[in-house]
């Protein structure tokens, strides 16, 4: 969880080329969601979740971790493809090609949804499952808009 949050908050913004500005209200809502969700996930995992000593070898953890890892790889690779769609100064709509974009039009969204459902399976907490569902609803809506 912390690895992805650090990537999304620190590395990803440095890689983005200049594009459309984000409305301030959208920024504030996203910030509030991330702060609240980060607190909720951290508090859940450090205070309330209990795992048996052999949890890291449990099939739910292994499957969830692999889902998270594959989802994150798809997400990061898809972001790379999207960042490099246009050459500097070029404008206009371009359809992304390569990677998971050959199978779904919102590969970056698909990767992030897979990532958080993998996280939820690995953690097996109601909070991680709620986050996965929120991600599914929010990102599938955005994916549908992008597809159109």
Q: Domain segments of the chain: what residues?
A: 57-87+95-147
Task: Give mean pLDDT, residues 11-23.
Answer: 72
Task: Tell me the three state secondary structure of residue 125.
Answer: coil
CB 4 within 8 A of CB 115: yes
CA atoms within 13 A on the CB side of 28: 3
Tokens of 119: 């996280």
Q: What is the mean pLDDT of residues 18-26?
A: 76
Share of the chain above pLDDT 90, in %: 61
- Of 134, 143, 138, nearest in space to 36 by CA: 134
- With 70 as the cut, is the pLDDT of residue 19 above it? no
Alpha-carbon distance of 136 to 132, in angstroms, equals: 6
pTM of the model: 0.85
Q: For 103, which DSSP code?
A: T
| Residue linked to tokens 């929010």 | 138
Q: What is the DSSP letter of 27?
A: H
Task: Please provide the average confidence, as pLDDT, over all residues in the chain.
Answer: 89
Q: Which has the minimum average pLDDT: 81-85, 92-96, 127-131, 141-145?
A: 92-96
């Amino acid at each position: 969880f912390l690895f992805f949050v650090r990537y999304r908050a620190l590395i990803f913004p440095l890689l983005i080329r200049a594009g459309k500005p984000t409305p301030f209200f959208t920024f504030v809502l996203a910030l509030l969601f991330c702060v609240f969700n980060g607190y909720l996930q951290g508090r859940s995992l450090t205070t309330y979740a209990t795992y048996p000593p052999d949890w890291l070898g449990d099939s739910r953890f292994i499957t969830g971790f692999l889902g998270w890892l594959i989802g994150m790889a798809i997400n990061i690779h898809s972001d790379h493809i999207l960042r490099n769609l246009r050459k500097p100064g070029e404008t206009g709509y371009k359809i992304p090609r390569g990677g998971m974009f050959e199978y779904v039009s919102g590969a970056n969204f698909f990767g992030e949804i897979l990532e958080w459902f993998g996280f939820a399976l690995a953690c097996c907490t109601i909070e991680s499952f709620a986050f996965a569902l929120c991600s599914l609803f929010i990102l599938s809506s955005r994916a549908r808009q992008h597809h159109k």
